């Protein structure tokens, strides 16, 4: 990839870092790589959507949903929590379909996720609650008998559609207190730098001004 093709990416990163430095994070400004499971400064969840361009090709766009989050704002989920909870940043929309995969429920209910990743747990707590399923109870059942827990979940009819069908009056879970916005923004900045600066030529002044010199 030539520098001229990388320039728009650099400008996008620069623009976003300015936003985060003032704690103003807008879903539509986020790159698709970090859209899913992020929360805007408004407290609304971001979601990844697809649309066809004029050539009929599928493009991904980050959009603002109407799903509100309590006590979390201007937040991009960490790679550690994405891994610990078994979620996928390329997930389109917001859906509870993942609950029907025993592997996912096992990851979500694991101590490394359930006790340390309040943003993701809050999301799936609400998805479950919207269909009358209490997530801690589901986790307990899954711990004792994963197959039976999945069968009970299926029989309850708990399956949500795309995010557009999710109302913002879904019962909100009491998520743990998040990191202060000032600290979150710094963490987001470093995370985005790693994503966008990987593979760029840091010896170029226009790149090093954003990404810094290679170690």
State the pTM of this model: 0.62
Residue 114 CB-density burial (10 A; 0-12 exposed, 13-18 middle, 19+ buried): buried
% the chain with pLDDT above 70: 56
pLDDT given at position 94: 82
Please state, rounded to an integer, the average pLDDT across all residues of the chain. Answer: 72
Q: Which residue has the higher pLDDT, 93 or 159?
A: 93
Does 110 have pLDDT greater than 90? Answer: yes
Does 168 have pLDDT greater than 90? Answer: no
How many residues comprise the chain?
215
How confident is the model over 125-149, as pLDDT tens digits? 998 888 788 889 888 888 876 666 5
Does 123 have pLDDT greater than 60? Answer: yes
| CA distances to 70, 72, 122, 141 from 174, in Å | 8, 11, 8, 21
pLDDT given at position 212: 60
How confident is the model over 7-52, as pLDDT tens digits? 454 445 555 554 444 458 999 999 999 999 999 999 999 999 998 8
Query: What would the two tokens of residue 29 be?
Result: 């400004």
How confident is the model over 175-192, as pLDDT tens digits? 443 433 334 344 544 554
- The distance from CA 36 to its chain's CA centroid, rounded to whole angstroms, is 3
Query: What would the two tokens of residue 73 be?
Result: 């704002």
**97-101, 109-113, 156-160, range with the lowest pLDDT:** 156-160
Measured CA to CA, the distance from residue 196 to residue 184 in angstroms comes to 18
Domain ranges of the chain: 25-73+76-177
How confident is the model over 97-106, as pLDDT tens digits? 777 777 888 9
Q: Which residues contact 169 (CB under 8 A, 6 or more apart)?
A: none
- The enclosing H or E element of 47 equals strand 44-52
């Amino acid at each position: 990839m030539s520098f001229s093709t990388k320039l728009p990416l650099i400008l996008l990163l620069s623009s976003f870092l300015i936003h985060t430095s003032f704690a103003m994070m807008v879903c539509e400004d986020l790159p698709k790589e970090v859209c899913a499971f992020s929360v805007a400064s408004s407290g609304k969840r971001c979601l990844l959507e697809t649309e066809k361009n004029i050539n009929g090709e599928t493009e991904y766009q980050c959009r603002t949903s109407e799903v509100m989050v309590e006590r979390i704002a201007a937040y991009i989920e960490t790679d550690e929590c994405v891994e610990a909870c078994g979620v996928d940043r390329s997930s389109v929309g917001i859906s509870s379909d993942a609950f029907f995969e025993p592997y996912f429920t096992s990851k979500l209910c694991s101590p490394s996720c359930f006790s340390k990743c309040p943003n993701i747990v809050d999301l799936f707590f609400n998805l479950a609650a919207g269909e009358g399923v209490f997530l801690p109870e589901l986790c307990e059942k899954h711990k004792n008998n994963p197959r039976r827990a999945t069968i009970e979940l299926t029989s309850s009819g708990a399956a949500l559609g795309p995010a557009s069908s999710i109302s913002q009056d879904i019962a909100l879970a009491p998520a743990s207190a998040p990191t202060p916005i000032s600290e979150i923004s710094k963490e987001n900045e470093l995370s985005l730098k790693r994503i966008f600066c990987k593979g760029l030529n840091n010896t170029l002044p226009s790149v090093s001004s954003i990404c810094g010199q290679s170690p």
